[in-house]
Amino acid sequence: MAEGERRKAERRKSERRVVSPRIKATRQDIMDAARNFEWKQQLPNWTTVVDGRELPARPLVVKAARVSDHNPTTTGEAAAILSDLGFEVRYQGTIVLRENFPD
């Protein structure tokens, strides 16, 4: 990666972290919510892996944070929260690194 590209990626990464998520959940909240989480629909594009199970990112974060399904948190924000907490995040089955999340 060229020096300019690396600095640009670092700047984007730091800019994202300045924005505070609309909801808060801890790693333990996610683990607890995942334990009894059931999803009977087709998995959405953004997913995460918790204890070997692939689960939908946004619904899991919303449940873990104990907020309404109508909360304005986006799927991208949920994926960022999960990534920041150390969970593997996938887009259409492919692992996505935090610095490659869409703006």
**Domain layout of the chain by residue ranges:** 3-100
C-alpha separations of 101 from 48, 54, 79, 81 in Å: 14, 19, 8, 12
pLDDT string in tens for the chain (103-residue length): 566 566 666 665 555 544 455 788 999 999 999 999 999 999 999 999 999 999 999 999 999 999 988 888 899 899 999 999 999 999 999 999 887 776 5
Structural tokens at position 53: 């199970």
Structural tokens at position 9: 């990626």
pTM of the model as a whole: 0.76
C-alpha separations of 12 from 26, 44, 97, 99, 102 in Å: 24, 25, 13, 8, 10
